[in-house]
Amino acid sequence: MKVIVQRSLNSSVSVDNKIVGKIDKGLVLLVGFKTTDSTSDIDYLVKKIINLRIFDDENGVMNKSILDVDGMILSISQFTLYADSTKGNRPSYINAMNSDSASKLYEEFNQKLSEYVKVEKGIFKADMKVSILNDGPITIILESR
């Protein structure tokens, strides 16, 4: 499982020109699953994300988590995180989990995150337009293995 974490001042996701998810201060997560991922990968990354200290404290040092700043999460499914372009110029997605299994894990991931913070999300498999105001910019890549 791979998650791109971006600290955000405000972000939104639209489908068919309608906003389906929107946050103010918080994190935007681009979430991808590979064929071997399971609930243990989700548990590991949920714990890592909610405790990741990438928000500034009163001294301007990144020392606070999303829990400390009462932030929100915008979660976006992103199978292309497992694109393999080592051969040729057209990426292969053979390492990405099939959509039925990935959809279930994505919902489980968001549900577990929502036990800690407010979670907005895109629509799985939809053609989404994502608007991100990256704060910093701060972008962290997390992987479960």
What pLDDT, on the 0 to 100 scale, is given for residue 13? Answer: 98
Say yes or no to pLDDT of 89 above 90: yes
The whole model's pTM is what? Answer: 0.95
What the chain holds in terms of domains, given with CATH numbers, is 2-143 (3.50.80.10)
Q: How far is CA 38 from CA 1, 44, 77, 102, 106, in A?
A: 8, 10, 16, 10, 10
The pLDDT of residue 130 is above 90: yes
Give the pLDDT band (50/70/90) at residue 145: confident
| Residue 33 is a catalytic residue | no
* Average pLDDT for the chain: 97
Residues 100/79/20/111 CA torsion (nearest 10 deg) = 60
Structure token pair of residue 97: 């989990």
Question: Which one of 6, 33, 55, 79 is the catalytic residue?
Answer: 79
Which of 78, 86, 109, 124 is labelled catalytic? 78
Residue 6 is among the residues annotated as catalytic for this protein:
no
